[in-house]
Amino acid sequence: MSTNIYSTLAGLPAASSNTGNIALVTSNGVQYISDGEKWKSQGEFTTGTIESLQLDDLSFNGVLTNFPLKVNNNNVFPHLTTNVIIVVNGNTLKPGRDFNFIKSATSTNISFTNSDNTPKAYPSGTIFYGLVFSRLPIDNSNSNALQKSGGTMTGNITFNSTQQFDGRDVSADGTKLDGIEASATADQTAAEIRTLVESASDSNVFTDADHTKLNAIESGATADQTDEEIQDIVGAMLSGNTESGITVTYQDSDGTIDFSVASQTDNNFTNADHTK
């Protein structure tokens, strides 16, 4: 016997080749068991006809007190003791008093008890008749299906090839998220961005004070001219002027200015001025 998961009822395989196998249909959350002719529901729902399966006979021997529940030699997994009817020697047993379930991942065993809850072994020849209802609540402890509501999931969820969740492409969204740095924001103001830039080392931020200072500096102004550069500027001024009675020469080799008067004996006053 095996348990398989199918997405829809239409996807169930032929019941004739799956006798005793259990199928969980995820579209309606219902569990089914094949009796060799059709799939009978074992899932939780509130409509439809309740069907039942007859349990296999039990091999009472006066020693054994618990037995796996089977239909056609295949294990079945009723969820509650009230999901079965057990008749022994013509007497219907009461769940919780006359029997209980011992459940595992591979079987559900019926354990017979006395009225004081001690184990009870029926002798050989005891007549047994049992029914398990085919419309049973899903035993989530034995199901690999996702719960329809509530509960806690562990591990990864594997999506189909489209990677769609609530209409979103999970793979594409994940790639986009991976490319966004932690604490990234798209709504910072200009003042916030400026503050962050100014707080960085070697940010070279151009401030309003810097702008005012720059406006006050004349075009072409310099504060790092050498003596030679200044001398050349003055020399050019002297060399390009108009001179009368005197010659001015800039000596670039030693940075000096030579003044030469044409005649130091010339009397620049007239005779009349001189005799006054």
- Over residues 245-269, the pLDDT tens digits come to 677 777 878 878 877 776 656 555 5
d(CA 85, CA 125): 20
**Segments forming the whole domain that contains residue 252:** 227-261
pLDDT-derived band of residue 147, with 50, 70 and 90 as boundaries?
A: low
% of the chain beyond a pLDDT of 90:
19
Can you give the pLDDT at residue 137?
Answer: 40
Q: Taking 60 as the threshold, does the pLDDT of residue 49 lie above it?
A: no
Q: Which of 101, 135, 169 is the last residue of a domain?
A: 135
- pLDDT digits 0-9 by tens, 172-200: 787 888 888 887 877 888 888 888 887 87
The residue ranking higher by pLDDT, 48 or 35, is 35
Q: Is 37 found in the same domain as 93?
A: no
Q: Is 130 found in the same domain as 56?
A: yes
Q: Is 56 found in the same domain as 36?
A: no
pLDDT mean over 151-163: 68
Can you give the pLDDT at residue 45?
Answer: 45
> Does 24 fall in a domain?
yes
Q: What is the largest CA-CA distance in the chain?
A: 176
Q: Is 57 found in the same domain as 40?
A: no
Q: Is 130 found in the same domain as 59?
A: yes
**Which structure tokens are listed for 145?**
């299906």
pLDDT-derived band of residue 171, with 50, 70 and 90 as boundaries?
A: confident
> Does 150 fall in a domain?
no
The residue ranking higher by pLDDT, 26 or 149, is 26
Can you give the pLDDT at residue 268?
Answer: 59
> Does 204 fall in a domain?
no
Can you give the pLDDT at residue 60?
Answer: 96
> Does 214 fall in a domain?
no
> Does 207 fall in a domain?
no
Averaged confidence pLDDT in the chain = 78
% of the chain beyond a pLDDT of 70:
77
Q: Is 79 found in the same domain as 15?
A: no
Q: Which of 135, 165, 196 is the last residue of a domain?
A: 135
Per DSSP, what are the bridge partners of residue 5?
A: 24
Can you give the pLDDT at residue 24?
Answer: 80
The per-residue b/e assignment along 4-20, b for 16 or more CB within 10 angstroms, e otherwise, is eeeeeeeebeebeebbb
Q: Is 120 found in the same domain as 80?
A: yes
Q: Is 115 found in the same domain as 68?
A: yes
Can you give the pLDDT at residue 142?
Answer: 46
Per DSSP, what are the bridge partners of residue 110?
A: 67, 101
The pair phi, psi for residue 235, each rounded to 5°, is: -60, -40
Q: Is 79 found in the same domain as 43?
A: no
Q: Is 131 found in the same domain as 56?
A: yes
Amino acid making up residue 7 = S
Q: Is 76 found in the same domain as 35?
A: no
The residue ranking higher by pLDDT, 42 or 132, is 132
Can you give the pLDDT at residue 124?
Answer: 95
Q: What is the domain count for the chain? A: 3
From the number of C-beta atoms within 10 Å of its C-beta (0-12, 13-18, 19+), residue 71 rates as buried
Q: Which of 109, 135, 161 is the last residue of a domain?
A: 135
Termini Cα distance of the chain: 150
> Does 78 fall in a domain?
yes
Q: Is 131 found in the same domain as 63?
A: yes
> Does 77 fall in a domain?
yes
pLDDT mean over 228-237: 77
> Does 212 fall in a domain?
no
